[in-house]
């Protein structure tokens, strides 16, 4: 189904949080303020790599209006954080490893005083050699960031006889691809308000993708029981993975407890650039062989990732890249080796696509180059090598069965955009220096956290005393449309009206742990939860109504406003009336579910079970005078199961595509010697509506195999993955020049023009 407003009909709804967001009325967590509030600031390193000989905070503490100056000695618990491996110092004790490292924090009466206090702190550094190249970092003679070495994580995957495969090949392509240090560029930079309670509890109003994970880490840092910490975590002005790890929370929490007053921290954009996570820059070398019939016979890949100085989820990102450099294709033999290196560059971490974007850019580039050598249509080459529905996953693991691979291939092949290539129906360019080309790419993208990683899910439905049906989940709304999707499911799966429903998310004091809002899993797990909750919850509603009305439960049904007659849809008792009767009788009408995300029955950590598929075609215009690339049209065929929310589905694909435009064409947080050269949005160029002004068509393929119980697949990252390789191929078709480095350098595409 071509997905748009017209084809969606009555399912096209205004998202509940939309009006307040577009009018600016909505208060994000960093908009919050309280009386008697202090302003927090963090002092960060001036060196990318140095020893700390001493820190003198006496002058800062002596300033009137400065209420606290904290360093490592003031951390009562673990002076480290990190979801998978807690190695990121809250405050550095004796060594800094990048310019985002924190050495002290202050709380003062005003912004100005806080800045003065930071300037008054004296830190005695002894600079150390800077390791800013991941390839150099893992050599034996490299300066060490850690005594055990600069190799952070390795992975590999091999099967078949790789040398025999290459010997059999009719054509071999060997190429190296490089991808940039992309920035999340959320509208709301990292921040929050931290409020100590008279009862000793602390409330952290701060954006995150998993409030319970933040609470656990804060408890370790503060040496407090988790029950004494409340994390309020929605709504969020954008995350894309960048707020998955702790950022300002440790400093806000420590300062609030030290002063006994509310403390607000909010990063400036430069502070966000300096200390925030970025997409892992990767250098991927591939050697791929194909026989004369176009069958892939050998595939070798070597990936080196720039980790920056601390772990974050870098091992998991590398594992994901290891899986996705094999991707959606059948190979006769595979030899993958990947490594992630510690450096003194900026922090790399979680980012939409989670290592798949880099891997797929390289893998699809190989397919296009091989097709050219074969003289074969690149889409036909993909068809000959696509995984079948019953095939195992990229790591040989059992996976959920879908026909998505073939369906998306066929959709793109039949699209008007792709047919332009053979029909030559494209109008002549508007000027002789404008060249046009069409390219396509294929994506198989995993969702969920994978084997061996805790991946809980669940939620709760309850009838409130005011007659509202309350849906309670531990997920976060960071702009992706989670609230709208949950509302739509409650209306369509249960028959409630929008007026009947209240949604509660993002508060660890009241929601169950539904797992992280990441890895393209939240909508899928909400759908699973509601499916499990429907029977128990509806049963309790009807049982209560049956007793109240004196009618058999089987003659009743739930619907808009209350309990209705199953035969005539007549309203018999409102939800408010039912709630009042239950309250009087001391009964609670509620149901809760808890389960885990489905995983493959293997022991390989990180191997996935659920996949979505996408095929992407683009038409580009290359201005050969400026070297700039304009994407004029996009076509996305997406197989991710049933469309839960048409607007949200389109939003994820279009938004992901916009993010991929930046990845492909303009975005790179440039560093030199461990220092950012790109410090603000005047030099870091993010696509705007001007760049995203071409037509975007989305074909949503909803069909699943008969009996499939998994429902909607992950969608949140899919739109961001395939566009870059499709653009690279389109540029080649336009100019005859191959691109192996992102963002595309305009100088590479410029040509002299003779008048």
**pLDDT greater than 70 at residue 713:** yes
Strand partners, 671: 676
Q: How confident is the model at residue 552 (pLDDT cuts 50, 70, 90)?
A: very high
Q: Calculate the average pLDDT of the chain.
A: 96
> What's the pLDDT score for residue 730?
98
With both helix axes pointing from N to C terminus, report the angle between 575-585 and 522-549 in degrees, rounded to the nearest 10.
70
> What's the pLDDT score for residue 426?
60
Per-residue DSSP letter, 601: S
pLDDT in tens, 185-236: 999 999 999 999 999 999 999 999 999 999 999 999 999 999 999 999 999 9
Strand partners, 407: none
Mean pLDDT of 491-507: 97
> What's the pLDDT score for residue 692?
86
> Are 699 and 637 spatial neighbours (Cβ–Cβ below 8 Å)?
yes
> What's the pLDDT score for residue 755?
63
Q: Which two tokens stand for residue 715?
A: 């969608």
SS3 call for 184: coil
> Are 635 and 441 spatial neighbours (Cβ–Cβ below 8 Å)?
no
Distance CA 366, CA 386 (A): 14
Distance CA 649, CA 556 (A): 34
Distance CA 575, CA 462 (A): 11
Task: Please return the burial class of 387, using the count of CB atoms within 10 Å of its CB with bins 0-12, 13-18 and 19+.
Answer: buried
> What's the pLDDT score for residue 75?
98
Q: Which two tokens stand for residue 176?
A: 């190296």
70 vs 431, which has greater pLDDT? 70
Closest listed residue to residue 451, CA positions, set 338, 613, 598: 598
> What's the pLDDT score for residue 703?
95
Distance CA 11, CA 7 (A): 9
> What's the pLDDT score for residue 303?
98
> What's the pLDDT score for residue 430?
79
Q: What is the DSSP annotation of 710-740?
A: --SPP-TTGGGTSHHHHHHHHHHHHHS----
Contacts 24+ apart (CB under 8 A), 532-537: 532/593, 532/595, 533/459, 533/460, 533/461, 533/591, 533/592, 533/593, 534/493, 534/494, 536/591, 537/461, 537/589, 537/590, 537/591
pLDDT in tens, 34-51: 999 999 999 999 999 999
Helix (H) / strand (E) element for 125: namely strand 122-127
> What's the pLDDT score for residue 578?
97
pLDDT in tens, 292-348: 999 999 999 999 999 999 999 999 999 999 999 999 999 999 999 999 999 999 999
Q: Which two tokens stand for residue 150?
A: 């600069």
The strand order across the sheet containing 456-463 reads 501-505, 469-473, 456-463, 590-596
> Are 160 and 331 spatial neighbours (Cβ–Cβ below 8 Å)?
yes
Tokens 């949200």 identify what position? 648
pLDDT in tens, 643-660: 999 999 999 999 999 999
Distance CA 449, CA 516 (A): 9
Task: Please return the burial class of 499, using the count of CB atoms within 10 Å of its CB with bins 0-12, 13-18 and 19+.
Answer: exposed
Distance CA 588, CA 154 (A): 52
Burial 683-692 (b: 16+ CB within 10 A, else e): ebeebeeebe
Helix (H) / strand (E) element for 417: namely helix 416-423
Distance CA 98, CA 310 (A): 9
Distance CA 366, CA 299 (A): 10
Distance CA 186, CA 272 (A): 10
> What's the pLDDT score for residue 217?
98
SS3 call for 120: helix
Instruction: Kindly report the number of other CB atoms within 10 A of residue 82's CB atom.
Output: 17
Percent of the chain with pLDDT over 90: 97
The three-state DSSP-derived secondary structure of 238-259 is: CCCCCCCCCCCHHHHHHHHHHH
Strand partners, 703: none
SS3 call for 192: strand
Strand partners, 154: 339
Distance CA 36, CA 206 (A): 19
Distance CA 364, CA 726 (A): 8
Distance CA 184, CA 610 (A): 25
> Are 630 and 461 spatial neighbours (Cβ–Cβ below 8 Å)?
no
pLDDT in tens, 75-124: 999 999 999 999 999 999 999 999 999 999 999 999 999 999 999 999 99
Percent of the chain with pLDDT over 70: 99
pLDDT in tens, 403-454: 999 999 999 999 999 999 877 556 677 788 999 999 999 999 999 999 999 9
> What's the pLDDT score for residue 753?
72
Distance CA 303, CA 173 (A): 16
> What's the pLDDT score for residue 422?
78
Mean pLDDT of 4-14: 95
């Amino acid at each position: 189904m071509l997905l748009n407003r017209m084809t969606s009909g009555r399912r096209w709804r205004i998202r509940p949080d939309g009006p307040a967001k577009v009018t600016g009325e909505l208060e994000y967590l960093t908009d919050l303020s309280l009386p008697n509030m202090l302003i927090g600031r963090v002092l960060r390193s001036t060196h990318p790599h140095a020893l700390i000989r001493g820190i003198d905070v006496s002058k800062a503490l002596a300033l009137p209006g400065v209420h606290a100056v904290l360093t490592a000695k003031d951390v009562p618990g673990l002076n480290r954080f990190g979801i998978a491996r807690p190695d990121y110092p809250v405050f550095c004790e004796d060594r800094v490893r990048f310019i985002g490292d924190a050495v002290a924090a202050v709380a003062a009466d005003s912004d100005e005083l806080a800045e003065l206090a930071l300037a008054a702190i004296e830190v005695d550094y002894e600079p150390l050699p800077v390791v800013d190249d991941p390839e150099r970092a893992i050599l034996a003679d490299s300066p060490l960031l850690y005594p055990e070495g600069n190799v952070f994580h390795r992975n590999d995957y091999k099967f078949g006889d790789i040398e025999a495969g290459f010997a059999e090949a009719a054509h071999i392509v060997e190429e190296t691809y490089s991808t940039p240090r992309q920035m999340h560029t959320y509208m709301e930079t990292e921040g929050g308000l931290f409020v100590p309670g008279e009862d000793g509890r602390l409330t952290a109003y701060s954006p995150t993708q998993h409030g319970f994970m933040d609470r656990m880490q804060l408890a370790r840092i503060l040496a407090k029981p988790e029950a004494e910490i409340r994390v309020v975590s929605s709504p969020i002005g954008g995350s894309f993975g960048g707020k998955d790890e702790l950022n300002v929370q440790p400093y806000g929490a420590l300062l609030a407890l030290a002063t006994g007053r509310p403390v607000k921290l909010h990063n400036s954009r430069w502070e966000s650039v300096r200390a925030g996570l970025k997409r892992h820059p990767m250098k991927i070398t591939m050697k791929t062989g194909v026989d004369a019939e176009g069958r892939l016979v050998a595939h070798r890949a070597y990936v080196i990732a720039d980790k920056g100085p601390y772990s974050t989820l870098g091992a998991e990102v590398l594992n994901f890249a290891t899986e996705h450099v094999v991707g959606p294709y059948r190979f006769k033999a595979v030899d993958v080796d990947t490594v992630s290196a510690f450096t003194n560059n900026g922090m790399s971490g979680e980012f939409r696509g989670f290592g798949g974007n880099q891997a797929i850019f390289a893998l699809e580039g190989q397919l296009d180059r091989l097709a050219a050598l074969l003289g074969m249509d690149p889409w036909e080459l993909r068809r000959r090598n696509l995984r079948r529905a019953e095939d195992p996953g990229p790591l040989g693991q059992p996976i959920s069965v879908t026909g998505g691979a073939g369906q998306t291939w066929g959709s793109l092949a039949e699209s008007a955009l792709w047919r332009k290539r053979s029909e030559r129906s494209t109008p002549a360019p508007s000027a002789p220096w404008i060249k046009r080309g069409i390219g396509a790419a294929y994506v198989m993208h995993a969702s969920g956290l994978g084997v061996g990683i805790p991946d809980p899910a669940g939620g709760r439905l309850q009838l409130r005393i005011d007659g509202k049906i309350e849906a309670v989940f531990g997920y976060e709304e960071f702009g992706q449309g989670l609230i709208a999707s949950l509302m739509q499911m409650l209306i369509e799966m249960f028959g409630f009206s929008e007026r009947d429903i209240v949604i509660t998310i993002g508060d660890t004091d009241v929601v169950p742990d539904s797992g992280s809002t990441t890895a393209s899993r939240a909508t899928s797990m909400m759908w699973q939860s509601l499916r499990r909750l429907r029977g128990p919850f509806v049963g309790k509603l009807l049982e209560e109504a049956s007793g109240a009305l004196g009618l058999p439960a089987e003659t009743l049904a739930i619907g808009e406003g209350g309990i209705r007659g199953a035969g005539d849809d007549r309203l018999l008792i409102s939800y408010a009336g039912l709630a009042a009767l239950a309250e009087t009788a001391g009964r609670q009408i509620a149901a809760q579910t808890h389960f885990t995300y489905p995983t493959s029955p293997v022991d390989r950590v990180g191997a996935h079970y659920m996949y979505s598929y996408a095929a992407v075609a683009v038409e580009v215009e290359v201005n050969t005078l400026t070297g700039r690339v304009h994407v004029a049209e996009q076509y996305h065929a997406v197989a991710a199961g049933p469309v839960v929310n048409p607007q949200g589905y389109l939003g994820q694909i279009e938004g992901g595509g916009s993010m991929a435009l930046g990845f492909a064409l303009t975005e790179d947080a440039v560093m030199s010697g461990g220092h950012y050269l790109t410090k603000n949005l005047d030099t870091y160029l993010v696509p705007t509506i001007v760049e995203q002004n071409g037509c975007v068509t989305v074909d949503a393929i909803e069909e699943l195999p008969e009996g499939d119980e998994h429902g909607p697949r992950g969608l949140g990252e899919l739109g961001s993955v395939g566009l870059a390789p499709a653009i690279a191929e389109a540029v080649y078709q336009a100019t005859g020049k191959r691109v192996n480095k992102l963002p595309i350098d305009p100088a590479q595409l410029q040509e002299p023009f003779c008048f």
